[in-house]
Amino acid sequence: MAARLSGDPVRRADYGGSGRRALLTSSVTTVAETASTNADVKLLVAQNGAAEGFWLRAEKQVGGVGRLGRKWESPPGNLYCSTVVDIRPGDPAPSSLSFVTALAVHDMLGGQLSADTPVLLKWPNDILVSDAKICGILLERVADKVVVGIGVNIVSAPDVPDRATISLRAANAENEHDASQILADLIARFEKRLKQWRTSGFPSILQDWTAVAHRPGSGLSVSDPSGEKIHGEYQGVTEDGALRLRKADGTLIVLHAGDVEMDQRAAG
């Protein structure tokens, strides 16, 4: 695979250079450290070096980015990975892959945590365990592909001033969790949900997502792209996955983007 990444030659057997040897497992390439798996995979896609089914995992990230450009802490022991999804004729809208990804992570967590541990999906693509964020998802379009980035807090959770975070270790301290094993489980779940998305369509995915998301009437606080904060009650999502929010004055609005927080004060 002839490509260049951060000034270093990139090959599946020697990813990124600088002594960082790749450990190949099926379609997974693992590197000891990189700035951002999403940035790396985006570059590979642009240079025709990554097709659907390719996964990149980093044991440590030094330049991870979350929603709205936030820096995301990425210490060793957690899962940092990115994959590629082709946009094929007849596929649902690429933006709906955020729901596919969130469901795959939810499925994986269900196999890792005890049955009585609450796992909730929060629009648009957050995963909460015991009301604390355990995973970050970032989708980026590159030509006719979507790069899907996933970060799961396994052994530690970042300190985020405006929200609670949690790790698998904290949620299920009696079990040991290994990032490579969790990724193998996640890949299987992702492939299953991706097949559902393509064969049964987005309505099937949305139905499953709704079943494990916050309940209608839940209070939400949404910061829209302009920075304005809107409070209201969650009223489900539209057929294309947009958020329906009822404001205190009874007005029902539809939001296609925004940063969402649970807000009990907004509930009726």
Contact 153, 134 (CB under 8 A): yes
Portion of the chain with pLDDT greater than 90, in percent: 63
177-215: b (≥16 Cβ within 10 Å) or e: bebeebbeebbebbeebbebbeeeebeebbebbeeebbe
Q: Residue 176 has what DSSP assignment? A: -
Average pLDDT of the chain? Answer: 84
Q: Please, which pLDDT band fits residue 72 given cuts at 50, 70 and 90?
A: low
Contact 35, 18 (CB under 8 A): no
Q: What is the 3-state secondary structure (H, E, C) of 33-48?
A: CECCHHHHHHHHHHCC
Q: Is the bond into 216 cis (omega within 30 degrees of 0)?
A: no
In tens, the pLDDT along 113-156 reads 988 899 999 998 899 999 999 999 999 999 999 999 999 999 99
The answer to whether residue 47 scores a pLDDT higher than 80 is: yes
Instruction: Calculate mean pLDDT across residues 190-202.
Output: 97
What's the CA gap between 114 and 184, in Å, rounded? 19
Q: Is 247 helix (H, G, I), strand (E, B) or coil?
A: coil
More confidently predicted of 167 and 48? 167
* pTM score: 0.84
What's the CA gap between 119 and 131, in Å, rounded? 8
CA distances from 83 to 4, 44, 182, 183, 233 (A): 18, 11, 15, 11, 34
What is the spatial order of strands in the sheet that 126-129 belongs to? Answer: 23-25, 28-31, 55-58, 79-86, 145-152, 132-142, 126-129, 119-122
pLDDT value, residue 4: 32
Q: Please, which pLDDT band fits residue 25 given cuts at 50, 70 and 90?
A: very low
Q: Please, which pLDDT band fits residue 68 given cuts at 50, 70 and 90?
A: very low
User: How do beta strands 79-86 and 119-122 pair?
Assistant: unpaired
**Directed axis angle between helix 97-112 and helix 202-211, to 10°?**
40
What's the CA gap between 212 and 106, in Å, rounded? 9
Q: Please, which pLDDT band fits residue 168 given cuts at 50, 70 and 90?
A: very high
pLDDT value, residue 53: 92
